[in-house]
Amino acid sequence: MSYRHIEVHPVSGALGAEIDGVDFSRELSDAVVTEIRHAWLEHLVVFFRDQDITPAQQLAIARRFGEPVEYPFVQGLPEFPVITPIVKLADETVNFGGLWHTDTTYQLRPPMATMLYGLELPPYGGDTLFANCYLAYDTLSDGLKATLQPLIGINSSHKGRVVETRAARVADAPKEDANVARVAEHPIIRTHPETGRKSLFVSFAHTTHFKGWTAAESEPLLDYLFEHQTRPEFTCRFRWEPGSIALWDNRCALHNPINDYHGHKRVLHRITFAGEATA
């Protein structure tokens, strides 16, 4: 596709592109939305700089790309419950979601996408890493692909350290059943409903074991897959600035916010989009 209304600049060989020529404080034409969506599907995560928008404007933008849904554990903004504040305070040492993951795969229909808008950023650090799960699948051996194809992954909201990463925000503004674990089953090899490409759909933060296998039996293979899917050549790194926006595809990309800015506050607003059943 040739772009007539936006400029698209890849940021790495694996995934990610910065998009210029978009002002989210103004009404977007259908043509611009179509081009952004095409770039997003091609690059898995797209970034925008120097945006100045209100929560109402962020929600309006999000609705052009999907159906916003609430996060299950933390209350959203009072007037905009689908916008979740992603906050680390200066005196805290644990950051929200600070593990490799794709968002809320413990739900039966995990989110299609996530939009994150940066408001207050530390003077250094706080970058986010992204990883391409298409590449992770493509580079597996044929034998391992065949082994994984029929397997189902069990994904839990309460696996290991992930509970700790959201504990401070749950304490501040918990949902009514914030302490109840969610568990969902998804294919280890997922076919993207729009591109038709296969990806390695596991997550260090949430995938606990394979269906029909014990945790002990699953652990060695899962550990290999977690390490494989985050190989440096499968990743890109985004440096946040106030006014930055990232929009990524949760069906084929992982992310990991780096926790290297102790003593500084970091505030972003997140919207996730309703997804479809995995296949």
Is 255 designated active site?
yes
β pairing state of 45-48 and 17-20:
parallel
DSSP summary character for residue 147: H
Closest CA to 173 of 85, 91, 104, 49: 85
Q: What does the pLDDT profile of the chain (279 residues) look like in tens digits?
A: 789 999 999 999 999 999 999 999 999 999 999 999 999 999 999 999 999 999 999 999 999 999 999 999 899 999 999 999 999 999 999 999 999 999 999 999 999 999 999 999 999 999 999 999 999 999 999 999 999 999 999 999 999 888 888 887 888 878 877 788 899 999 999 999 999 999 999 999 999 999 999 999 999 999 999 999 999 999 999 999 999 999 999 999 999 999 999 999 999 999 999 999 897
Taken in order 199, 200, 205, 207, is the CA torsion positive or negative? positive
CB of 18 closer than 8 Å to CB of 11: yes
Boundaries of every domain in the chain: 7-273
The number of residues in the chain equals: 279
- Give CA–CA dist 191/172, Å, rounded: 37
Tell me the β-bridge partners of 3.
none
Of 206, 209, 269, 270, catalytic: 270
pLDDT for position 217? 98
Of 101, 166, 251, 269, catalytic: 101
Of 103, 166, 249, 266, catalytic: 103
Is 209 designated active site?
no
CB of 14 closer than 8 Å to CB of 237: no
CB of 19 closer than 8 Å to CB of 8: yes
Beta-carbon contacts of residue 234 (< 8 Å; ≥ 6 apart): 14, 15, 131, 132, 135, 136
pLDDT for position 180? 85
pLDDT for position 175? 80
Closest CA to 247 of 274, 272, 278: 272
pLDDT for position 160? 81
* Sequence-separated contacts (24+) of 173-177 with Cβ below 8 Å: 173/74, 173/75, 174/73, 174/74, 174/75, 175/72, 175/73, 175/74, 175/75
CB of 244 closer than 8 Å to CB of 126: no
Is 270 designated active site?
yes
**Burial class for 95, CB neighbours closer than 10 Å (0-12, 13-18, 19+):** buried
Is 103 designated active site?
yes
CB of 123 closer than 8 Å to CB of 262: no
- Give CA–CA dist 58/37, Å, rounded: 16
> pTM for this structure?
0.95
* Sequence-separated contacts (24+) of 69-72 with Cβ below 8 Å: 69/111, 69/272, 69/273, 69/274, 71/104, 71/270, 71/272, 72/104, 72/107, 72/157, 72/175, 72/182
CATH class of the domain whose range is 7-273: alpha beta
Of 166, 186, 255, 269, catalytic: 255
